[in-house]
Amino acid sequence: MRISEASTKSGLSADTIRYYEKSGIVPPIDRGPDGLRRFSPENLEWLTLLYWLRKTGMPMKEMQRFASFYRQGEATVPQRRDLLLKHEQRLQERRADLARCEEVLSYKLAAYDRIEGNRS
């Protein structure tokens, strides 16, 4: 598939895909005789993973480490798993922080509702 289709399916812009490719985060992407990129299912899987890792706030340096571990082969599965587990822990902490933020906002909105109700 071409970059436009890979972009649509992965959720990443074509510019982001090019950037990730130049950064070495994506495994090598084949090119056709016309010089255009030809994305494999593996490439698309990686792009989709990168989309979600970025969406969840994983820093680029960690994404680069993850990709570097991947290139080193199956011997690095424990390191990749550890990296993802640490990211999962950060997500859980962030989720708890957001839940607390929601509680504070709900409290404040309820206070405003009471104030406005007293004016009517």
Phi, psi of 66 (to 5 degrees): -60, -45
CATH of 3-119, one of 1.10.1660.10, 1.10.1740.10, 3.40.50.720, 3.40.50.11540: 1.10.1660.10
Question: What's this model's pTM, rounded to 2 decimal places?
Answer: 0.78
What are the pLDDT digits (tens) for 6-35?
999 999 999 999 999 998 899 889 999 999
Q: Quote the CA–CA distance of 80 and 64 in Å, as a whole number.
A: 11
Q: What is the mean pLDDT of residues 83-108?
A: 97
Delimit the domains of the chain by residue range. Answer: 3-119
Task: Indicate the DSSP class of residue 26.
Answer: S
pLDDT computed for residue 119 by the predictor: 65
Burial state string for 51-88 with b = 16 or more CB within 10 A and e = fewer than 16: bebbeeebeeebbebbbebbeeeeebeeebeebeeebe
pLDDT range class, residue 120, cuts 50, 70, 90: low
